[in-house]
Amino acid sequence: MPTPSMEDYLERIYVLIDEKGYARVSDIAEALAVHPSSVTKMVQKLDKSKYLVYERYRGLVLTAKGNKIGKRLVYRHELLETFLTMIGVDEAHIYRDVEGIEHHLSWDAIDRIGDVVQYFQEDEERIQALGAVQKRNEETVADEEE
Ligand SMILES: [Mn+2]
């Protein structure tokens, strides 16, 4: 199992390769706001764990194993964003919240959250009913503050 830090790198590398066709150390460093030497170190570690193949001049290529986990990590991130958006979390908090929780949930929990997202997406009235609960709660809080 990759560590949370390895997961962040694999997720970012997968997105870069998906969008640009390649992932350079400098691009990864910029995307994760870390020093290029940290990226090189981590990339070597990921190579050792068979998530990717790193060649100094040719760059890096995800192995089948790295590609599979990278895809799942990106799915997990996107699912959690969808979930938080759906339940009405302010957009300004979503990215940080997802980055904060994504490494700490089991895949079981991720799948169950997927069920909840599906449950709401299958019927617009369910989203509206949730919205009504939130509105009621906000009004209660506003009343208490008066
Ligand atoms: Mn993420």
Are 79 and 119 within one domain? yes
Spacing, Cα 1 to ligand 1 middle (Å): 16
Same domain, residue pair 65 and 35: yes
For residue 27, the model assigns a pLDDT of: 93
Domain check: are 105 and 48 in the same one? no
Q: How far is CA 46 from CA 49, 102, 146, in A?
A: 5, 20, 56
For ligand 1, the distance from its centroid to the CA atom of residue 72, given in whole angstroms, is 11
Burial class (CB in 10 A: 0-12, 13-18, 19+), 122: exposed
In terms of domains, do 80 and 133 share one?
yes
Q: What is the pLDDT of residue 1?
A: 79
How many structural domains does the chain have?
A: 2
pLDDT(17) > 80? yes
DSSP state of 57: T
> Is residue 64 located within the same domain as residue 98?
no
pTM, to two decimals: 0.87
Same domain membership, residue 89 and residue 55: no
Cβ neighbors of 87 (< 8 A, separation 6 or more) are 130
Domain boundary among 34, 69, 104: 69
Q: What is the mean pLDDT of the chain?
A: 94
64 and 81 assigned to the same domain? no
Could you tell me the distance, in angstroms and rounded to a whole number, from the CA of residue 8 to the centre of ligand 1? Answer: 6
In 3-state terms, what secondary structure has residue 62? strand
Instruction: Give the end of a domain, one of 25, 53, 69.
Output: 69
On whether 77 is known to bind a ligand per the annotation, the reply is yes
Q: How far is the CA of 45 from the centre of ligand 1 (A)?
A: 19
Q: How far is the CA of 127 from the centre of ligand 1 (A)?
A: 25
What does the block give as tokens for 27?
């691009």
32 Cβ contact list (under 8 Å, min separation 6): 8, 9, 12, 39
- Round the CA-based radius of gyration of the chain to a whole number and report it: 19
* pLDDT at residue 57 is higher than 90: no
Distance 10 CA to ligand 1 centre (A): 10
- Do 15 and 62 meet the contact criterion of CB atoms below 8 Å apart? no
Instruction: Indicate if the pLDDT at residue 55 is higher than 90.
Output: no
Q: Is residue 133 packed enough to be buried (19+ CB in 10 Å), middle (13-18) or exposed (0-12)?
A: exposed
98 has a pLDDT exceeding 80: yes
- The answer to whether the annotation marks 7 as part of a ligand binding site is no
Residue 103 known to bind ligand: yes
Expressed in angstroms and rounded, the spacing between residue 100 Cα and the centre of ligand 1 is: 8
- Protein residues placing their CB within 5 Å of the ion ligand 1: 77
Residue at a domain's end among 27, 51, 69? 69
What's the whole-number mean pLDDT along residues 16-41? 94
Known binder of ligand: residue 99? yes
Looking at residue 110, its pLDDT comes to 97
Q: What is the pLDDT of residue 30?
A: 95
| Same domain? 52 vs 25 | yes
Residue 145's pLDDT is: 78
Q: Could you tell me if 61 and 82 lie in one domain? A: no
Q: Which domain holds residue 34?
A: 4-69
Q: Indicate the Cα dihedral angle 33, 34, 35, 41, nearest 10°.
A: -140
| pLDDT number for residue 87 | 94
